Structure 1
């Protein structure tokens, strides 16, 4: 990573620690450990720096699947200062997803994405949908890799989801998906 990215990572880790991420339980240890692994996984897949930073901070505003928010939405400027505007926008977009309404159609060009904060439908462009899919894959695959219970309970559904999202995922993300969840049509 470039020096600027290392500085952003250090700032992100500072704000994560200040928000208590290292004291919140999460599969595989603490929320901070999970966030670090997600950022590292995205980096290993060759993601651009803003997406890696978003992976490190993806749970700041809570998510549809993890309601603990480290920062109130009214304090978005603090995260912008730590990781930059593009990365923070990715974190906000990720946090805003109403999964039940959005996952099914994400790979469709005209698929609806529902903002869980406002209830409004949005129609993200291909780049935004790819970023979202890649970040979701990193998040869910990390949990499946560190938690045999989660993999047993959700693995088949995740494989089905990521198979539908295959056009949005990078080759390294898809390969990692198959490595963690198994080949379609075969026992994992």
Structure 2
């Protein structure tokens, strides 16, 4: 109910997301996801600062450390869901910091592969104990089955994001 006692319009029509005809539990879950996302971002920002880079640079370094040496600018932009010009700017800064090298692809000279330097590897080794402590605390309530479930659910939610974003954007365009 709103402040005048009228029922609030539902924010979902899926029966699986409704409880006793209301979306209250769904709304609370969305609020908790938003709060978790914000706190997770703050945690990552603190780790980035401890590593001496900006949060976007930290995301790039962490992603490259997971993906290996065959990553192109376009691959990285798609993976991080950001623009190619943004990746070009940030990787240039990482190069200046000595954490990244750009290597031409011998097969396709138009492509550039992004490679972390030994200095980046040393920085990752140095920050790893902090990441371990943070993750151990952050995810202390999860067991092995929870981790698998959360991973599966997160992949599913991320898979729905593009279509949901298009729905949200089309609502804004329809009003114009």
TM-score, normalised to structure 2's length? 0.31
Taking CA–CA contacts closer than 8 Å with sequence separation of 6 or more, which of the two structures ends up with the larger relative contact order? 1
Normalising by structure 1, report the TM-score. 0.30
Rg larger for = 2
